Amino acid sequence: MKPTGRELKAVFQGIERTKLYEALKGVWETGIPEKVEAEKYHMEESEGWWTNYIYRLPSGEVVCFVTT
């Protein structure tokens, strides 16, 4: 996926109702890494159970590694 310059909520409709969204906000604010256990997602044409590992880089960017 390429960066779009848009808010996450605009790219992934309904993400604000997920544990992932809350974890992303928390990691961005605190810098403390988080793991979001398997949660079912429906995003665009993808659907499935994904586990997410979220980190804040020294540059301030937040990254998320996803496993299925």
3-state SS assignment for residue 63? strand
More confident residue, 26 or 66: 26
Question: Residue 16: pLDDT band by 50, 70, 90 thresholds?
Answer: confident
Please tell me whether the overall predicted TM-score, pTM, comes out greater than 0.85 for this model. Answer: no
39 in Cβ contact with 49 (< 8 Å): yes
pLDDT at 25 over 70: yes
